[in-house]
């Protein structure tokens, strides 16, 4: 079995003290010559030395752990966010601890407490509620935090999200330009979840401005409200169904397939969150694609800034795009 290389071994071979080597590993290069930095780097590479982040953390009072709480781990958006954050952290010493709130504010508080007990250096949170008061434990702990996608009723931490209002309004204006006279907005209960509210308001406002009839249909685990609406709809106006997120879009497609509707002849379809089936399902679904790679990179950047005491409550908007296909 190969014997583990220690910090003493590296320091001796590089001809420096353990203090100097520790400063190098912690990025403290001031008052360190270029020659010394180069020599240490080459020895570390030659000896394949792997610093122990937890051991370094004990000395610096860091855990090198980042806590992630998503509202629903079964949601496709969450899985892509998790993958993106893992990629963004791959070149750092930080490890990601992943928790799901199962769309429950009570469960969310439990998993946050578990992460705080792990002394995480920072939190990335997709909140289940807009109430800042629900996150008092994070405030009390002083843990640097960044929010995914969703805003709170009071600004406390930075948020990274897509341009929900702008991109939704653009898609609805395009639908109006195509001659659609009615828009049917399908969404999970709004519940003060800011992306849902922003998309709802954008659809409603654009419909009003463009003289389109507006209909809101709320669905949950069942898509029956949409089935019932379509079955009684006279369909005397050229109508487009807008799904507020990927799960809603999936339910819309299930309903139109079940009712043997022709898309876009009977109804146009569009929605938020492009996904690998959107292009493959005939006739191809027009949908909004969020730049999740950029969102996750910015989440990490903002959290690192916060962990360096660079406090911010900024909302960072990442432009999304529209993939136009034959469903409109």
- Give the containing element (helix H, strand E) for 271: strand 268-272
Quick check: is 137 in a domain? yes
Residue 241 pairs with which residues in a beta bridge? 184, 269
Quick check: is 76 in a domain? yes
| pLDDT for res 93 | 85
Block residue for tokens 């790679």:
293
Range of the domain at 19: 7-51
Quick check: is 56 in a domain? no
Are 208 and 284 in a shared domain? yes
Block residue for tokens 């792997």:
50
Are 185 and 281 in a shared domain? yes
- Model confidence, pTM: 0.79
Backbone angle region of 88, left / alpha / beta, with phi > 0 → left and psi within -120 to 50 → alpha: alpha
Quick check: is 255 in a domain? yes
Q: What is the dihedral of CA 121, 127, 128, 132, to 10 degrees?
A: 100
Token output for 148: 């995914």
Quick check: is 1 in a domain? no
Are 296 and 306 in a shared domain? yes
Tally of structural domains, the chain: 3
Are 157 and 305 in a shared domain? yes
Are 198 and 267 in a shared domain? yes
Are 76 and 25 in a shared domain? no
Quick check: is 254 in a domain? yes
Are 116 and 139 in a shared domain? yes
Are 150 and 236 in a shared domain? no
CA gap 207, 182 in Å, rounded: 8
Quick check: is 35 in a domain? yes
Residue 224 is part of a domain; what is its CATH number? 3.40.50.2300
Strand 286-289 to strand 321-323: parallel, antiparallel, or no bridges (unpaired)? antiparallel
Q: What is the dihedral of CA 301, 122, 306, 78, to 10 degrees?
A: 40
Three-class DSSP category at 190: coil
| pLDDT for res 58 | 47
Are 156 and 168 in a shared domain? no
Token output for 98: 């992943």
Are 146 and 263 in a shared domain? no
Quick check: is 187 in a domain? yes
| pLDDT for res 1 | 45
Are 200 and 135 in a shared domain? no
Going residue by residue through the chain, which has 328 residues, state the pLDDT in tens, using 9 for 90 and above: 456 788 888 889 999 887 788 777 766 676 788 888 889 888 888 888 876 655 555 455 678 899 999 999 988 889 999 999 999 998 888 999 999 999 999 999 999 999 998 889 999 999 999 999 999 999 999 999 999 999 999 999 999 999 999 999 999 999 999 999 999 999 999 998 999 999 999 999 999 999 999 999 999 888 999 999 999 998 899 999 999 999 999 999 999 999 999 999 999 999 998 776 676 677 899 999 999 999 999 999 999 999 988 788 999 999 999 999 999 9
Residue 22 is part of a domain; what is its CATH number? 1.10.260.40
Are 174 and 261 in a shared domain? yes
């Amino acid at each position: 079995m190969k014997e583990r290389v220690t910090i003493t071994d590296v320091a001796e071979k590089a001809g420096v003290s353990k203090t100097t080597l520790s400063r190098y590993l912690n990025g403290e290069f001031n008052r360190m010559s270029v020659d010394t930095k180069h020599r240490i780097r080459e020895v570390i590479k030659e000896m394949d030395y792997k610093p122990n982040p937890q051991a370094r953390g004990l000395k610096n009072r860091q855990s090198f752990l980042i806590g992630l709480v998503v509202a629903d781990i079964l949601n496709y958006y969450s899985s892509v966010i998790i993958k993106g954050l893992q990629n963004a952290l791959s070149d750092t010493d930080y490890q990601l601890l992943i928790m799901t709130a199962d769309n429950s504010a009570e469960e969310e508080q439990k998993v946050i407490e578990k992460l705080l007990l792990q002394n995480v250096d920072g939190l990335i949170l997709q909140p289940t509620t807009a109430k800042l008061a629900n996150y008092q434990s994070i405030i009390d702990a002083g843990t640097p935090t960044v929010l995914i996608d969703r805003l709170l009723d009071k600004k406390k931490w930075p948020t990274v999200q897509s341009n929900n209002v702008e991109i939704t309004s653009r898609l609805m204006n395009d639908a109006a330009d195509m001659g659609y006279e009615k828009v049917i907005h399908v969404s999970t209960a709004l519940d003060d979840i800011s992306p849902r509210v922003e998309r709802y308001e954008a659809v409603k406002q654009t419909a009003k401005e463009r003289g389109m009839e507006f209909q809101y249909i709320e669905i949950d685990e069942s898509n029956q409200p949409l089935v019932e609406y379509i079955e009684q709809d006279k369909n005397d106006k050229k109508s487009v169904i807008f799904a507020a997120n990927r799960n809603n879009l999936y339910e819309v497609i299930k309903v139109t397939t079940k009712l043997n509707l022709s898309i876009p002849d009977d109804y146009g379809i569009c929605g938020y969150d492009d996904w690998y089936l959107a292009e493959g399902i005939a006739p191809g679904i027009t949908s909004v694609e969020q730049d999740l790679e950029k969102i996750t990179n910015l989440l990490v950047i903002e959290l690192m800034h916060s962990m360096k005491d660079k406090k911010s409550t900024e909302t960072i908007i990442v432009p999304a795009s529209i993939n136009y296909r034959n469903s409109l």
